Structures are given as C-alpha cells and as structure tokens.
Amino acid sequence: MPQLSPYRRLFRLPGARAFTAGNLVARLPMGMFSVSAVVMIAGARGSYALAGAVTATGLAATALVAPWIARLVDRHGQARVALPATAFAVLGSLSLLLCVRHGAPDWTLFASYAATATTPNTGGMSRARWSHLLAGDAKALHTANSFEQAVDELCFMLGPVLAAFLCGTFFPEAGTLVGAVLLMTGMVLFTARRATEPPVRTRIPGDAPLRAPGIPPLLAVCLAMGGVFGATEVVTLAFADAQGQQAAAGIVLALQAAGSCAAGLLYGTVKPTGPAAARLPWCVAAMTGLLTLPLLAAALTGSLVLLAAALLIAGMATAPTMVTTMTLVQERTPAGRLNEGMTLAVTGLLGGIACGSALGGWTVEHLSPTTGYALPVTAAAVALALSLATASNRFTKILTHH
C-alpha cells in the first residue's frame, strides 16, 4: 500500500524491528497493571475505594520517581538503568500479588504498588532511539513519532481488555502476573539491542529540561490534556453503569483508543506543514471541537451506541495532538536529556489524568454522568488557551528579536 511506504522505510533501518518488538512487549503491560490491581484488590478485599486509593498512590509515586529514573537513563544508558529499575518494579508487582493473596495488612498494598513507580518510560526510550537514528530527518522522525503514539493507543486499547480477560478467566491475580512477566521479558529484549541505543554522554551540558525555554508551557498543556483522558474514562464508566451496561464500558473506551490509533498511523504518512509550535493550537482546537460530540450524544440521545460512535470520532484528534506535543518536547529538550524531557511530559499527563478522574468522579456522583462529559471539553479548551498563549508569546519574541 503506497500510503504505508514511510513506515516501510522506517523499519528498514538496521535494528529498528528488533528494538520495536521488545518495546512492544514491554509496553503492553502499561494498560494492564491498573485494571488488574483494581480487579484483584476489590475482589479480595471487597472495596473499590481501597483499590482506587492504592492505584492513585502508585500514580503519585510514578509522577515523583519517573523523571529521576529518566535522568539516570540519560546519564548512564538505557540498558544499565532500565533493567534494574524494571526488575525492582516487577518485584513490587509480585509483592502486591502475594500481599493480596495472603491477606497482608492494607499498608503493604500501598507500599508494594508504589514500588512499581520505578518502571522506566518505555515509550520515551523508544522515541529517544528514533531521534538518535533519524537525526536530521524531520519527516522520518514525524513518522516514527506517529507510530509510537499509535502504539501507545494500541496498548491502552488492548491492555485493559487482556487484563480483564485474564483476571476473569483464570484467577484474580493472573493479570498482574502476566503483566509482570511481559514487562521484564520485553525490557530484556529491548535493552539487548545495544546497537540502536543512543550514546551516553559523560557530561550533559545545559539546564535540566524543566528549565529549558518552552518546556514549562508544554507541560501545562500536557496537564490539561491529561484531564481530558482522566475525566472521559471515569465518566464513560459511570454512564455505562447507569444504563446497566457496565460490561460494555471497556469496549466503548477501546473504540476511542482505536480511533486515535488509526489517526496516528494515518498522520504519520502525511508530511507536516509548518513548525510544530504553529500546528499544536490547530490540533488542540480539533480535539476540543470533536469532544463536543460525546457531550451531545449523551445529552441529546442517552444512547450508549451513539456515545461509542462519538468517542470513536473524538479519539481521532488525540494522536495528532500528542504527536505534535512530543515533537515539540524533542525540539525543546536540551541535547542528551531526551528521556527526562519526554518523561516530564508523561508525568504532566499522569497528573492531569489523576485530576480529571477525581473531578469526573465528583461530577458523576453529585450531578450526573451526562454533565460529566462537559469536563473533557472544558479541559481541552484550557489546553487550547494555553497552546495559543504559548504560540503567541513565542511569535512576539521572534518579532522582537528581529
């Protein structure tokens, strides 16, 4: 197929297929662990509140630890840091499994799940390899970033479904156990491909990414976009539950990820026009506009089928927006600190997801699931305002400089 030729060219690079295969195996569990933990803990302890608190603690721990792990990866190399960090995280998952199974005190669940925060940013490490391999080829890097975003969406689409299947078909701990095995196996395969690993710099010049010009405003945009994802997930679960179709909620959310995955792959075949900073507000504007569709479907029809179709369409703006955002992070992050820069962006998203989930839960409980669909639109509008302000400030600085 002609439109896929950019991807064929991408994977002709020596070692590209091998490190991508390992990274795919390692990345799939990112969509499994949270669902597996909730099912396992709620089933054994009879408390969704406890399960939610444990997973929220893990999210908070990840937000604190992940940038530190990424900095170590940049300084000492992917294989040297990622393998032991992954092994520690896997031990945390296995500890959680054993503590739940043997009725250990609740605090052990929090401690065990917090230990999984050392899991390296596998997507960030893969993007760093593409940046190294494709240095100077902006078009090919755009295709690689689009592919990586599609992979993220695929993992978030398949991970929860696989986790629910394993926990429901075999035993409650099956999802966590399989996820841990996949994570460790994938990381071993990924880090074994040393030829494509970015070279380690003995001394990394420049400021930390957080102080780099243009990065803090991008993190604010990521925080707002995370609010979109967090609120959408909680509100959709509540909407389906209110209609007595809770089992269908996973399929509805998977359709949203499928729309984003398809859009990401298509976006990678299109040559981007203009700088990424100019494209970002347009992408976020499209996301804001399309997110009104689920709100209208819920408010005007109340149909879960129409809501699913609206989320499928709305999801198509996600990947182009995230690809453009990650491209900007790569452009603005100081040389030699790419893993740290991209992990900060992911941390911003995680923080937004946590806030969106909390606001979504409050809105659903005190108002209604239908009203809750106004939250993603609002969060996207905030992201749009931030991206426009950032673009305006940079344009003003360019004019002043000239």
* Residue 50 lies inside a defined structural domain of this protein: yes
* Residue 315 lies inside a defined structural domain of this protein: yes
In this structure, the answer to whether residues 19 and 54 fall within a common structural domain is yes
* Residue 359 lies inside a defined structural domain of this protein: yes
In this structure, the answer to whether residues 165 and 265 fall within a common structural domain is no
pTM of the predicted structure, to 2 decimals: 0.76
In this structure, the answer to whether residues 320 and 393 fall within a common structural domain is yes
CATH number of 346's domain? 1.20.1250.20
| Residue whose pair of structure tokens reads 């950032």 in the numeric block | 390
Q: Ranked by mean pLDDT, which of 21-35, 155-169, 226-240, 353-367 comes out on top?
A: 21-35
In this structure, the answer to whether residues 134 and 216 fall within a common structural domain is no
Tell me which of 150, 167, 201 is where a domain ends.
Answer: 201
Using the predicted structure, report yes or no on whether residue 145 has a pLDDT greater than 80. Answer: yes
Please state, in angstroms and rounded to a whole number, the distance separating the CA atoms of residues 255 and 154: 10
Range of the domain at 250: 212-402
Please state, in angstroms and rounded to a whole number, the distance separating the CA atoms of residues 231 and 254: 15
* Residue 68 lies inside a defined structural domain of this protein: yes
In this structure, the answer to whether residues 31 and 160 fall within a common structural domain is yes
Return the higher-pLDDT residue of 96 and 235: 96
* Residue 158 lies inside a defined structural domain of this protein: yes
CA distances from 77 to 185, 194, 262, 268, 280 (A): 19, 10, 33, 28, 31
In this structure, the answer to whether residues 181 and 32 fall within a common structural domain is yes
Q: Which of 286, 311, 155 is nearest to 229 (CA)?
A: 311
Q: What is the pLDDT of residues 171-224, one digit of tens each?
A: 889 999 999 999 999 999 999 988 888 887 666 555 666 677 778 888 899 899
Give the amino acid at 28.
L
Average pLDDT over residues 305-320: 91
The mean-pLDDT minimum among 46-50, 123-127, 251-255 falls in: 46-50
Return the higher-pLDDT residue of 241 and 372: 372
- Beta strands (DSSP E) in 187-227 are none
Give the amino acid at 96.
L
In this structure, the answer to whether residues 174 and 252 fall within a common structural domain is no
In this structure, the answer to whether residues 103 and 191 fall within a common structural domain is yes
Q: Ranked by mean pLDDT, which of 110-114, 172-176, 242-246, 317-321 comes out on top?
A: 110-114
Tell me which of 201, 223, 238 is where a domain ends.
Answer: 201
- Count other Cβ atoms within 10 Å, centred on residue 112: 23
Handedness of CA 120, 150, 161, 313 (dihedral sign): positive
In this structure, the answer to whether residues 126 and 86 fall within a common structural domain is yes
Q: What does pLDDT average to over the chain? A: 84
Residue 1 is predicted with a pLDDT of 42
Q: What is the pLDDT of residues 355-402, one digit of tens each?
A: 887 788 788 878 888 888 999 999 999 999 998 887 655 544 444 444
Looking at the structure of the chain, the number of domains it has is 2
Return the higher-pLDDT residue of 207 and 65: 65
Residue 64 is predicted with a pLDDT of 85
* Residue 206 lies inside a defined structural domain of this protein: no
Structure tokens at 103: 């009725």
Average pLDDT over residues 324-333: 83
In this structure, the answer to whether residues 175 and 242 fall within a common structural domain is no
In this structure, the answer to whether residues 304 and 345 fall within a common structural domain is yes
* Residue 207 lies inside a defined structural domain of this protein: no
In this structure, the answer to whether residues 180 and 310 fall within a common structural domain is no
- Beta strands (DSSP E) in 55-119 are none
Residue 363 is predicted with a pLDDT of 83
Tell me which of 182, 201, 220 is where a domain ends.
Answer: 201
Average pLDDT over residues 53-63: 82
